[in-house]
Amino acid sequence: MPDTLMALFAQNSMAPTQIALVVVPLMLVLAILVIVVKQYKRCPSNKILVVYGKVRDERAAKCLHGGGTFVVPLLQDHAYLSLEPLAIDIDLQSALSQKNIRVNVPSTFTIGISTQREIMNAAAERLLGLGDKEIQHQARDIILGQMRLVIATLTIEEINQDREKFLDLVNKNVNYELNKIGLQVINVNIRDITDESGYIEALGRKAAATAINQAKVEVAEADRSGEIGQAAANRDKEVQVATQHAQSAMGQKEADRDQRITVAKLEAETVSSEAEASRAQDVAIAAQQAIAVQGKKQAEAEQRVRVASLEADATKGENESRASIADYEATLAERRAEAKRRGEVAMAQAERDVLQAEREREQAKLEKEQIVLQNIERQKIEIDADAEAERIRRVAQGNADGVLAKYKAEAEGVRSVLEAKAKGYADLMASCADRKDLAPALLMIEKMPELVAEQVKAIQNLKIDKVTVWDGGDNGGNSSTAGFLRGLIGALPPMHELAEQAGIDLPQYLGKLNPVADERRTPTEKAPDSTDE
């Protein structure tokens, strides 16, 4: 990359000052961007980002769950705390209860680092840098102590029977103590509760015996209720059977009586029905004859209505046909009118085009006449301008002749100076005799003050308010500060390279080129006529 930049600058013939003004700000901007990107830390959702060092509010650390923050180099550093839950098996043995009975309560606790601000800060102060085993060891000691404390305040009956109260007390006490080191209880699972004296087992046997006896009592009561119910059912059955027999005999007698009454009524009704049937037959015949006459009249009426309806439909069809013919004729008339209108419009447009052409012809004629007048006026102006230009040219020619005479005089003076210098150079070469290489060295020494002055001008206008160097220490004997100064001094035009480009070898007492540095130079940096020493 530096070789490419130097080649580019060499091709564009940029001055060293311009190179420095472009490269130094670019390097500073790139360095700042790299630092900003590298020092911005993001926090995953399953971790806590802890920034420690110089933080605000005089706190020991700043904790973040989610998001990100900028870590100031040298003043701050960062680390992560995992939020993954930890399962701890607690094999609690011989814990003393309120009645001095020792119990065994094996359980499993699931804990993790809390995301509450105060508890996160406590975790950063006490758990940062610890492994899972070390965190489990600390939590196990706290859980064992708090469970013994809770068991000491409860009786065996409360522990065994009221599990909800027992778990609530365990959660409160253990959680309160774990929060002090940044942890919280996620879940508690009590696997079993036993005691060394067998008290809990005896309570179980007592409860089982009580349940068995209660079941026997309930079975006997159920048997008694069954026998009583069966006897009552048998009695009700016999009463209901006797009642049904009595009702059956009474029903049979009533049926015989009703039969005789019904037969008498049917005989009387038969005689009456025969007379009524004869009369009804006559009436029915007369009604049917009347219905036949009525149907005939109704059929005739329907026939006349249908004929009238068909005639009306025929008339309607004829009218609709006439209306369709009238619509067609109206549409045809509209189309003819539209065609006539389009023809008239076309004729009007043709007349307009003719008038437009005549107007353009008149306008062209008028413009032609005006252009002739304008051309005459322009020729007059050109003649006047040529006369004025000739006057100015003659005046300028006179001034040029004066300037030329002045420059000729100056050229004569310069030529005299150059001839004098040439004579002096010839005398210098003659005085050097066989040592012709001394003449360029003497001339270079004569110009040395001017070269030094030009070197000073290369950096005298650099305005550098402050230079901040991020030095990572000794890097093979070359620090970043030394490299920066070496690069700044290297931007000055070297005297030996200037002399080499001019084809001159300076004397040994003025120093010599470093072969290693010369090898490091790129082909574009070397002079075309220079050779490696």
Which of 90-104, 228-242, 467-481 is the least confident region? 467-481
Residue 88, pLDDT score: 93
- Which fold, 78-197? Tetrahydropterin Synthase; Chain A (3.30.479)
Residues 198/156, Cβ–Cβ less than 8 Å: no
Q: 124: which 2 tokens?
A: 């950063």
Q: What is the 3-class SS of 456-504, one letter each residue?
A: HHHHHCCCCCCCCCCCCCCCCCCCHHHHHHHHHHHCCCCHHHHHHHCCC
In the predicted structure, residue 1 carries a pLDDT above the cut 60: no
What ranges do the domains of the chain cover? 78-197
In the predicted structure, residue 505 carries a pLDDT above the cut 70: no
Model confidence at 87, pLDDT cuts 50, 70, 90, reads very high
Which of 43-52, 160-169, 292-301 is the least confident region? 292-301
Model confidence at 532, pLDDT cuts 50, 70, 90, reads very low
Residue 182, pLDDT score: 92
Q: What is the pLDDT of residues 96-120, one digit of tens each?
A: 888 788 889 999 999 999 888 889 8
In the predicted structure, residue 314 carries a pLDDT above the cut 50: yes
Q: What is the pLDDT of residues 422-443, one digit of tens each?
A: 888 777 777 777 776 667 777 7
Say which DSSP state 530 is in. -
Average pLDDT of the chain is 77
Q: How many CA atoms lie within 13 A of 369 on its CB side?
A: 5
CA angle 490, 494, 499 (to 5 degrees): 160
| Greater pLDDT, 468 or 428 | 428
Q: Assign residue 457 a region: left if phi > 0, alpha if psi is -120 to 50, beta otherwise?
A: alpha
In the predicted structure, residue 403 carries a pLDDT above the cut 90: no
- What number is the average pLDDT over the span 446-452? 73
Selection from 221-225, 270-274, 343-347 with the highest mean pLDDT: 343-347
- What number is the average pLDDT over the span 374-378? 80
In the predicted structure, residue 171 carries a pLDDT above the cut 80: yes
Selection from 144-153, 259-268, 309-318 with the highest mean pLDDT: 144-153
Q: What is the pLDDT of residues 520-531, one digit of tens each?
A: 444 444 444 443
In the predicted structure, residue 217 carries a pLDDT above the cut 80: no
CA-based torsion, 160, 166, 171, 176: positive or negative: negative
Q: What DSSP string runs through 93-129?
A: EEEE-TTS-EEEEEEEEEEEE--SHHHHHHHHHHTTT
Distance CA 272, CA 43 (A): 112
| Greater pLDDT, 228 or 103 | 103
Q: What is the 3-class SS of 150-192, one letter each residue?
A: HHHCCCHHHHHHCHHHHHHHHHHHHHHHHHCCCEEEEEEEECC
DSSP H helix total and E strand total for the chain: 12, 9
